[in-house]
Amino acid sequence: MADNAYARAGVDIEAADRAVDLMKEWVEKARRPEMLGGLGGFAGLFDASALLSYKRPLLATSTDGVGTKVAVAQMMDKHDTIGFDLIGMVVDDLVVCGAEPLFVTDYIATGKVVPERIAAIVKGIAEACVEAGCALVGGETAEHPGLLAPDEYDVAGATTGVVEADALLGPALVREGDVVIAMAASGLHSNGYSLARHVFFTQAGWTVDRHVEEFGRTLGEELLEPTRIYTKPALAIARETETHAMAHITGGGLANNLARVMPPELKATLDRATWTPAPVFDVVRTLGEVAQPDLEATLNCGVGMVALVAPDAVDGALARLADFGIDSWVAGEVAVDPEQKGTVELVGQHPGW
């Protein structure tokens, strides 16, 4: 570290420069043709002339972080997957309205810049952007000595996308008789980690290197499973089938997030018997003695995204999702219910629960 006043205060400019050099390779991979310039400018540039082909382009934007899942990455000293959690959280909040994510910016705050660690984080972010089809146009890394411990960091990001006005998805399109298609989650994704960490680490006293038979791997490996990114398959069914609305299942669980796209006069009923959540959800439930309503209000319980589609579009949507390797199924339907308008109800029970 250079011997200057800033360095003596704990901020290493040379380490920051080294981190930028290491991450350039990965940022370069996360480009779109509309991206101008490279890493190092004060602002990321994106050529918006493509919007001229739209009749009425609507810009959509979303911002989010990863939450306390970063604590697991730090415990595992594995940092190249957390970027998938960040990108999954922001881009799939856009895609539910039919918007295509165009570009992302990220923000990393850390107690001490370790260039290799920052580069690993950005590697994951860039690879996730490639999977989502958006560009990583810029970002910021900030060193916060005294505020964060040397090995601590947090990540956040923001994305902007576009959708043609007459292709906008949402509650206004949902109709009686629509079918609820559920898309399988890869695991816990990036929500409910305060609960999961409390159950596994505080209540049970487990460690990240503990092999868990139900998972077929260590606890840390299970908890660090990256968030599934649904952007491309979700856009495919939005564009190619009669899809009316979608919901990204994040904090608050399945029923609460699906309710956000339900019109006030209709109700969606989902049958738990149509799927078996991955073992991690049942282990949290039983090990932590967590009541099912609390579990379902916190975790995705095996469903990461849902789509509301017209009945005659179901087969096409399921087939298209399968093309992308997404396990999906019919989980329920939409109907009129004068007594429970605008709600979502889960009925039945998961096999084996």
Q: What is the pLDDT of residues 185-222, one digit of tens each?
A: 999 999 999 999 999 999 999 999 999 999 999 999 99
Contact 159, 101 (CB under 8 A): yes
Rounded to whole angstroms, the maximal C-alpha distance in the chain is 72
What does the pLDDT look like over 36-93, one tens digit per residue?
A: 565 556 666 777 888 899 999 999 999 999 999 999 999 999 999 999 999 999 999 9
Radius of gyration in angstroms for the set of CA atoms belonging to the chain, rounded to a whole number: 21
Side-chain half-sphere of 180: how many Cα atoms within 13 Å?
30
pLDDT of residue 162: 96
What's the whole-model pTM score? 0.90
* Residue among 114, 138, 115 at smallest CA distance from 126: 138
156: amino acid identity, one letter: A
For the chain, the first-to-last Cα distance in angstroms comes to 56
Quick one: tokens of 206?
């487990």
Say how far apart CA 151 and CA 45 lie, in whole Å: 32
Contact 104, 87 (CB under 8 A): yes
Q: What are phi and psi of 345, to 5 degrees?
A: -125, 135
In this prediction, the residues of the chain whose per-residue pLDDT falls under 50 are 1, 5-6, 8, 26
Q: Quick count: other Cβ atoms within 10 Å of Cβ 1?
A: 13
* Residue among 224, 299, 221, 232 at smallest CA distance from 71: 224
pLDDT of residue 342: 76
